[in-house]
Protein backbone atom coordinates (compact mmCIF):
# COMPACT_ATOMS: atom_id res chain seq x y z
CA UNK A 1 0.00 0.00 0.00
CA UNK A 2 1.12 3.52 -0.11
CA UNK A 3 -0.33 5.24 2.88
CA UNK A 4 -4.06 4.94 2.18
CA UNK A 5 -5.05 1.65 0.66
CA UNK A 6 -6.10 -1.83 1.44
CA UNK A 7 -6.48 -3.34 -1.98
CA UNK A 8 -6.67 -7.06 -2.60
CA UNK A 9 -3.94 -6.91 -5.22
CA UNK A 10 -1.86 -9.65 -6.77
CA UNK A 11 1.20 -9.80 -9.04
CA UNK A 12 2.57 -10.19 -12.52
CA UNK A 13 5.43 -9.21 -14.83
CA UNK A 14 7.02 -9.55 -18.28
CA UNK A 15 9.85 -10.94 -20.33
CA UNK A 16 13.49 -9.96 -20.36
CA UNK A 17 13.93 -11.34 -23.83
CA UNK A 18 11.57 -8.78 -25.34
CA UNK A 19 11.23 -5.01 -25.42
CA UNK A 20 7.91 -3.25 -26.03
CA UNK A 21 6.44 -3.86 -29.45
CA UNK A 22 3.13 -2.06 -28.95
CA UNK A 23 2.83 1.55 -30.00
CA UNK A 24 3.07 3.98 -27.10
CA UNK A 25 0.37 6.58 -26.60
CA UNK A 26 3.02 9.07 -25.51
CA UNK A 27 6.53 9.05 -26.98
CA UNK A 28 7.88 10.24 -23.63
CA UNK A 29 6.54 7.19 -21.81
CA UNK A 30 6.94 3.79 -23.45
CA UNK A 31 4.37 1.16 -22.63
CA UNK A 32 5.27 -1.63 -20.21
CA UNK A 33 6.02 -5.03 -21.63
CA UNK A 34 3.02 -7.24 -22.41
CA UNK A 35 2.14 -9.91 -19.85
CA UNK A 36 0.11 -13.08 -19.66
CA UNK A 37 -1.39 -14.95 -16.74
CA UNK A 38 -2.09 -13.27 -13.41
CA UNK A 39 -1.46 -9.54 -13.85
CA UNK A 40 -3.28 -7.87 -10.94
CA UNK A 41 -0.79 -6.27 -8.54
CA UNK A 42 -0.06 -3.38 -6.21
CA UNK A 43 3.34 -2.16 -4.92
CA UNK A 44 5.37 -4.89 -6.62
CA UNK A 45 8.81 -6.14 -5.61
CA UNK A 46 10.39 -8.57 -8.09
CA UNK A 47 13.48 -10.76 -7.73
CA UNK A 48 15.12 -13.65 -9.58
CA UNK A 49 15.59 -16.54 -7.17
CA UNK A 50 18.56 -18.88 -7.03
CA UNK A 51 16.52 -21.61 -8.77
CA UNK A 52 16.07 -19.31 -11.77
CA UNK A 53 12.41 -18.49 -11.15
CA UNK A 54 11.14 -14.96 -10.72
CA UNK A 55 9.00 -14.14 -7.74
CA UNK A 56 6.88 -11.05 -7.26
CA UNK A 57 5.38 -10.06 -3.93
CA UNK A 58 2.75 -7.36 -3.46
CA UNK A 59 0.21 -5.55 -1.30
CA UNK A 60 -3.34 -6.79 -0.94
CA UNK A 61 -4.75 -8.11 2.34
CA UNK A 62 -1.89 -10.60 2.27
CA UNK A 63 1.60 -10.37 0.83
CA UNK A 64 0.56 -12.11 -2.34
CA UNK A 65 3.07 -14.07 -4.42
CA UNK A 66 3.40 -14.75 -8.14
CA UNK A 67 5.94 -16.93 -9.91
CA UNK A 68 7.33 -16.88 -13.46
CA UNK A 69 10.06 -18.68 -15.36
CA UNK A 70 10.49 -15.97 -17.98
CA UNK A 71 9.22 -12.65 -16.56
CA UNK A 72 6.32 -12.77 -18.99
CA UNK A 73 3.91 -15.54 -17.91
CA UNK A 74 2.84 -15.36 -14.26
CA UNK A 75 0.93 -17.74 -12.01
CA UNK A 76 -0.62 -17.27 -8.59
CA UNK A 77 1.57 -18.73 -5.83
CA UNK A 78 -0.50 -17.86 -2.78
CA UNK A 79 0.74 -15.98 0.27
CA UNK A 80 4.24 -15.24 1.53
CA UNK A 81 3.12 -16.25 5.04
CA UNK A 82 1.08 -19.28 5.99
CA UNK A 83 -0.45 -17.25 8.85
CA UNK A 84 -0.14 -13.60 9.91
CA UNK A 85 2.30 -13.01 12.81
CA UNK A 86 0.37 -12.05 15.92
CA UNK A 87 2.12 -8.68 16.34
CA UNK A 88 0.55 -7.40 13.10
CA UNK A 89 -2.74 -6.95 14.97
CA UNK A 90 -1.12 -4.26 17.11
CA UNK A 91 -0.99 -2.08 13.98
CA UNK A 92 -3.92 -3.27 11.91
CA UNK A 93 -7.16 -4.86 13.10
CA UNK A 94 -7.23 -7.27 10.16
CA UNK A 95 -3.46 -7.93 10.01
CA UNK A 96 -3.16 -6.30 6.57
CA UNK A 97 0.47 -5.95 5.34
CA UNK A 98 1.58 -3.48 2.67
CA UNK A 99 4.36 -2.63 0.26
CA UNK A 100 6.90 -5.49 0.51
CA UNK A 101 10.59 -5.19 -0.39
CA UNK A 102 12.57 -8.32 -1.34
CA UNK A 103 16.37 -8.61 -1.34
CA UNK A 104 19.13 -11.20 -0.94
CA UNK A 105 22.23 -11.09 1.24
CA UNK A 106 24.34 -13.32 3.46
CA UNK A 107 22.85 -16.52 2.05
CA UNK A 108 19.24 -15.59 2.81
CA UNK A 109 16.34 -13.75 1.24
CA UNK A 110 15.03 -10.81 3.25
CA UNK A 111 11.46 -9.58 3.04
CA UNK A 112 10.51 -6.22 4.53
CA UNK A 113 6.91 -5.02 4.64
CA UNK A 114 4.70 -2.49 6.42
CA UNK A 115 1.78 -2.93 8.79
CA UNK A 116 -0.39 0.08 9.55
CA UNK A 117 -3.96 1.37 9.41
CA UNK A 118 -5.78 3.88 7.27
CA UNK A 119 -4.58 7.43 7.84
CA UNK A 120 -2.30 6.92 10.84
CA UNK A 121 1.46 6.81 11.39
CA UNK A 122 1.14 4.28 14.19
CA UNK A 123 3.02 1.96 11.88
CA UNK A 124 5.67 -0.75 11.73
CA UNK A 125 8.04 -2.23 9.19
CA UNK A 126 8.55 -5.94 9.72
CA UNK A 127 11.31 -8.26 8.53
CA UNK A 128 11.33 -11.94 7.62
CA UNK A 129 13.91 -14.31 6.14
CA UNK A 130 13.80 -17.39 3.92
CA UNK A 131 16.39 -19.80 2.51
CA UNK A 132 14.62 -19.91 -0.87
CA UNK A 133 12.52 -16.75 -1.17
CA UNK A 134 9.46 -18.83 -2.04
CA UNK A 135 6.03 -18.27 -0.49
CA UNK A 136 5.35 -20.32 2.61
CA UNK A 137 9.02 -20.50 3.61
CA UNK A 138 9.31 -17.21 5.52
CA UNK A 139 10.31 -16.89 9.17
CA UNK A 140 9.15 -13.60 10.64
CA UNK A 141 11.46 -11.69 13.01
CA UNK A 142 9.12 -8.97 14.17
CA UNK A 143 9.33 -5.20 13.72
CA UNK A 144 12.50 -3.76 12.23
CA UNK A 145 11.43 -0.14 12.72
CA UNK A 146 8.31 1.59 14.03
CA UNK A 147 6.69 5.02 14.19
CA UNK A 148 4.14 6.54 16.51
CA UNK A 149 1.69 9.41 16.27
CA UNK A 150 4.25 11.65 18.00
CA UNK A 151 6.73 11.12 15.14
CA UNK A 152 6.97 13.32 12.05
CA UNK A 153 7.43 10.32 9.76
CA UNK A 154 5.52 7.17 8.86
CA UNK A 155 7.21 3.75 9.05
CA UNK A 156 5.79 2.18 5.90
CA UNK A 157 6.99 1.55 2.32
CA UNK A 158 10.44 0.06 3.09
CA UNK A 159 13.23 0.00 0.50
CA UNK A 160 16.62 -1.56 1.27
CA UNK A 161 19.94 -0.44 -0.19
CA UNK A 162 23.55 -1.27 0.60
CA UNK A 163 26.19 1.45 0.45
CA UNK A 164 29.85 1.48 1.47
CA UNK A 165 29.52 -1.71 3.46
CA UNK A 166 26.47 -0.50 5.39
CA UNK A 167 22.79 -1.40 5.15
CA UNK A 168 20.17 1.32 4.87
CA UNK A 169 16.40 1.45 4.65
CA UNK A 170 14.47 4.25 2.99
CA UNK A 171 10.84 4.54 4.06
CA UNK A 172 8.00 7.00 4.44
CA UNK A 173 4.62 8.17 3.24
CA UNK A 174 3.12 11.64 3.64
CA UNK A 175 4.09 12.82 7.20
CA UNK A 176 6.89 14.97 5.69
CA UNK A 177 7.87 12.41 3.06
CA UNK A 178 10.82 10.07 2.60
CA UNK A 179 13.25 9.21 5.38
CA UNK A 180 16.17 6.81 5.85
CA UNK A 181 17.62 4.84 8.76
CA UNK A 182 20.65 2.57 9.06
CA UNK A 183 20.11 -1.13 9.83
CA UNK A 184 22.15 -3.73 11.67
CA UNK A 185 23.06 -6.20 8.88
CA UNK A 186 23.04 -9.13 11.33
CA UNK A 187 19.53 -8.59 12.66
CA UNK A 188 18.15 -6.64 9.71
CA UNK A 189 16.62 -4.18 12.17
CA UNK A 190 17.21 -0.49 12.79
CA UNK A 191 20.24 0.29 14.93
CA UNK A 192 18.96 1.60 18.28
CA UNK A 193 19.25 5.35 18.40
CA UNK A 194 20.20 5.62 14.75
CA UNK A 195 19.68 9.01 13.11
CA UNK A 196 16.62 9.25 10.88
CA UNK A 197 17.70 11.19 7.79
CA UNK A 198 15.32 13.23 5.64
CA UNK A 199 15.58 12.55 1.88
CA UNK A 200 12.55 14.05 0.09
CA UNK A 201 9.37 15.99 0.76
CA UNK A 202 6.89 18.42 -0.76
CA UNK A 203 6.68 22.10 0.19
CA UNK A 204 2.95 21.84 0.92
CA UNK A 205 0.78 19.63 3.12
CA UNK A 206 -0.09 16.77 2.98
CA UNK A 207 3.44 16.18 1.61
CA UNK A 208 2.22 13.66 -0.95
CA UNK A 209 5.42 11.70 -1.61
CA UNK A 210 5.98 8.08 -0.66
CA UNK A 211 7.12 4.66 -1.84
CA UNK A 212 10.86 5.25 -2.16
CA UNK A 213 13.24 3.03 -4.09
CA UNK A 214 17.00 3.64 -4.26
CA UNK A 215 19.19 2.40 -7.11
CA UNK A 216 23.00 2.62 -7.22
CA UNK A 217 24.38 3.18 -10.71
CA UNK A 218 27.84 4.50 -11.54
CA UNK A 219 28.84 7.19 -9.06
CA UNK A 220 25.29 8.08 -8.06
CA UNK A 221 22.45 6.83 -5.93
CA UNK A 222 19.08 7.44 -7.57
CA UNK A 223 16.02 8.04 -5.44
CA UNK A 224 12.73 7.14 -7.12
CA UNK A 225 9.51 8.12 -5.32
CA UNK A 226 5.78 8.11 -5.98
CA UNK A 227 4.06 11.50 -5.89
CA UNK A 228 0.41 12.51 -5.51
CA UNK A 229 -2.53 10.12 -5.01
CA UNK A 230 -2.71 6.38 -5.56
CA UNK A 231 -5.47 3.86 -5.06
CA UNK A 232 -8.33 5.60 -6.87
CA UNK A 233 -8.42 3.55 -10.05
CA UNK A 234 -8.69 5.70 -13.16
CA UNK A 235 -8.82 8.79 -10.93
CA UNK A 236 -5.36 8.09 -9.50
CA UNK A 237 -2.79 10.84 -10.02
CA UNK A 238 0.29 8.83 -9.04
CA UNK A 239 3.52 9.52 -10.92
CA UNK A 240 7.18 8.62 -10.41
CA UNK A 241 9.89 11.22 -9.91
CA UNK A 242 13.65 10.76 -9.50
CA UNK A 243 16.66 12.60 -8.14
CA UNK A 244 20.24 11.59 -7.43
CA UNK A 245 23.11 12.04 -4.99
CA UNK A 246 26.71 10.88 -4.67
CA UNK A 247 25.86 9.83 -1.09
CA UNK A 248 23.16 7.33 -0.16
CA UNK A 249 21.96 9.66 2.59
CA UNK A 250 21.66 12.62 0.21
CA UNK A 251 21.14 15.39 -0.45
CA UNK A 252 19.19 14.30 -3.54
CA UNK A 253 18.47 16.75 -6.35
CA UNK A 254 16.96 16.66 -9.82
CA UNK A 255 18.63 17.51 -13.13
CA UNK A 256 18.01 21.24 -12.57
CA UNK A 257 19.71 21.12 -9.19
CA UNK A 258 16.47 21.51 -7.21
CA UNK A 259 16.76 19.52 -3.96
CA UNK A 260 14.20 16.80 -3.38
CA UNK A 261 13.81 18.25 0.12
CA UNK A 262 12.44 21.36 -1.59
CA UNK A 263 9.98 19.60 -3.88
CA UNK A 264 12.44 18.70 -6.64
CA UNK A 265 12.45 15.53 -8.70
CA UNK A 266 12.50 14.90 -12.45
CA UNK A 267 9.28 13.42 -13.80
CA UNK A 268 10.23 9.85 -14.75
CA UNK A 269 6.91 8.11 -15.51
CA UNK A 270 3.37 9.46 -15.61
CA UNK A 271 -0.06 8.51 -16.93
CA UNK A 272 -0.28 7.82 -20.66
CA UNK A 273 -2.88 6.03 -22.71
CA UNK A 274 -4.48 3.22 -20.73
CA UNK A 275 -1.69 3.30 -18.13
CA UNK A 276 -3.05 5.52 -15.36
CA UNK A 277 -1.24 6.54 -12.18
CA UNK A 278 2.02 4.57 -12.33
CA UNK A 279 3.77 4.24 -8.97
CA UNK A 280 4.62 1.91 -6.10
CA UNK A 281 7.89 1.28 -7.90
CA UNK A 282 10.93 -0.87 -7.20
CA UNK A 283 13.97 -1.92 -9.22
CA UNK A 284 15.67 -5.25 -9.82
CA UNK A 285 18.53 -6.64 -11.89
CA UNK A 286 18.50 -9.63 -14.21
CA UNK A 287 20.48 -10.74 -17.25
CA UNK A 288 22.68 -7.66 -17.17
CA UNK A 289 19.79 -5.17 -17.14
CA UNK A 290 18.04 -3.07 -14.56
CA UNK A 291 14.25 -3.10 -14.56
CA UNK A 292 11.60 -0.93 -12.99
CA UNK A 293 8.55 -2.70 -11.58
CA UNK A 294 5.47 -0.67 -10.69
CA UNK A 295 1.70 -0.78 -10.71
CA UNK A 296 -0.65 1.20 -12.91
CA UNK A 297 -4.44 1.37 -13.16
CA UNK A 298 -5.74 0.00 -16.43
CA UNK A 299 -8.18 2.50 -17.94
CA UNK A 300 -9.48 -0.20 -20.30
CA UNK A 301 -10.25 -2.57 -17.41
CA UNK A 302 -12.20 -0.42 -14.92
CA UNK A 303 -9.01 0.86 -13.29
CA UNK A 304 -7.76 -2.57 -12.20
CA UNK A 305 -4.21 -2.31 -10.73
CA UNK A 306 -1.71 -4.20 -12.89
CA UNK A 307 2.02 -4.73 -13.07
CA UNK A 308 4.19 -2.65 -15.34
CA UNK A 309 7.77 -3.60 -16.20
CA UNK A 310 10.17 -1.43 -18.14
CA UNK A 311 13.89 -1.89 -18.67
CA UNK A 312 15.98 1.19 -17.86
CA UNK A 313 18.31 3.01 -20.20
CA UNK A 314 20.75 5.78 -19.24
CA UNK A 315 21.28 9.18 -20.81
CA UNK A 316 24.73 10.55 -21.57
CA UNK A 317 24.60 12.69 -18.46
CA UNK A 318 23.69 9.71 -16.30
CA UNK A 319 19.93 9.93 -15.82
CA UNK A 320 17.63 6.89 -16.06
CA UNK A 321 14.91 6.61 -18.69
CA UNK A 322 12.31 3.86 -19.20
CA UNK A 323 12.49 1.69 -22.33
What is the Cα–Cα distance from 224 to 266, expressed in whole angstroms?
9
What are the φ and ψ backbone dihedral angles of 262, each rounded to 5 degrees? -120, 25
Catalytic site residue from 43, 96, 101, 140: 43
Q: Tell me the HSE value of 9 on the side-chain side, using a 13 A CA sphere.
A: 33
Give the DSSP letter of residue 233: G
Among positive and negative, which fits the CA dihedral 315, 49, 112, 98? positive
SS3 235: helix
Total Cβ atoms within 10 A of residue 194: 15
Total Cβ atoms within 10 A of residue 168: 20
210: annotated active-site residue: yes
Catalytic site residue from 96, 101, 210, 298: 210
43: annotated active-site residue: yes
Q: First and final CA of the chain: distance in angstroms?
A: 26
Residues with active-site annotation: 43, 210
Amino acid sequence: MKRFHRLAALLAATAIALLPTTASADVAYPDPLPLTGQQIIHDPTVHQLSDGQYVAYSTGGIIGARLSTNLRDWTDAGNAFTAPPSWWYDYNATADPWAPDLSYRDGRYWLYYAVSSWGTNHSAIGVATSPSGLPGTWTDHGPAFTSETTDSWNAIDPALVRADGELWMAFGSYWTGIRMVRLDPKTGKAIPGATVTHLATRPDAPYAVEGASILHHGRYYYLFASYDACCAGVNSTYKIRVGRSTSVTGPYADSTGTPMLEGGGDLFLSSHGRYTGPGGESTFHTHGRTWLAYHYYDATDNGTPKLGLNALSWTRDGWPAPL
